[in-house]
Amino acid sequence: MAAPIIAHPLGLFDCCGVSDGAACAIVTTVEKARDMGIKDIVTVKSLQLALSNGEEMGYNDWDGDHFLTTDHCSTKAYKEAGITDPKKEISMMEVHDCFSITELVTYEDLHISERGRAPYDAMDGFYNLDGGGVPCQVDGGLKCFGHPIGASGLRMLYEMYLQFLGRAQERQIEDPVFGLTHNLGGLPFMNVCSIAIIGKYGN
């Protein structure tokens, strides 16, 4: 609470630091994975992008309190993955928490919290590892890791991979079915959103 103000009311510790870093992933087909002897196969259930050209600034329906891209992208991702009730079906999330407010807005844009309810859900522990809801950022998120822009999304997916293989140790989630990662880039009124939903093969 006593941290220097960056942009009122956000203080220094509401904002993640941008850092350097790199990541890579090896992606293949289920058949090739089986040929290599891999038994616990983690698969992509949905991968969606939504882009904005800034048109929301030109009309009054958008009041700046959320990201239209995340709203649209999540709706498409759930449909592709066959998810009808994300609040009950998503087992865990890693979201783009570049600022504390962004994390709260994202909970609502992902249709997990109702509009205006994310702060209350967060304070009630709904997003905690042991909160009985949808655990989010159990590895600490961007504000813990720093934010190596291009590498952040793969770091999130790696956390999901560890969770599905039961290798997340003290932050392990019990029997996850669907994991969701969310990334943003740009400005609130002109940006790109990426959402991936993954799960074990056969789910």
- Give me the residue label for tokens 């709260």: 104
Q: What is the pLDDT of residue 149?
A: 84
Give pTM, 2 decimals. 0.94
Instruction: Write the CA distances from 13 to 3, 157, 161, integer angstroms.
Output: 7, 24, 28
pLDDT digits (tens, 9 = 90+) for 110-160: 999 999 999 999 999 999 999 889 999 999 998 888 888 889 999 999 999
- The closest of 99, 192, 97, 188 to 138, measured between CA atoms, is 97
CA distance 94 to 1: 25
Q: Domain-by-domain residue ranges, the chain? A: 42-200
Does residue 93 sit in helix, strand or coil?
A: strand
Confidence of residue 60 (pLDDT cuts 50, 70, 90): confident
DSSP 167: -
Determine the angle formed by the axes of helices 100-109 and 68-81, rounding to 10 degrees: 50
Q: What is the pLDDT of residue 18?
A: 86
CA distance 166 to 183: 24
**59 has pLDDT over 80:** no
CA distance 152 to 137: 13
Fold for 42-200, please state it. Answer: Peroxisomal Thiolase; Chain A, domain 1 (3.40.47)
Report the pLDDT averaged over residues 88-104. 95
Mean pLDDT of the chain: 93
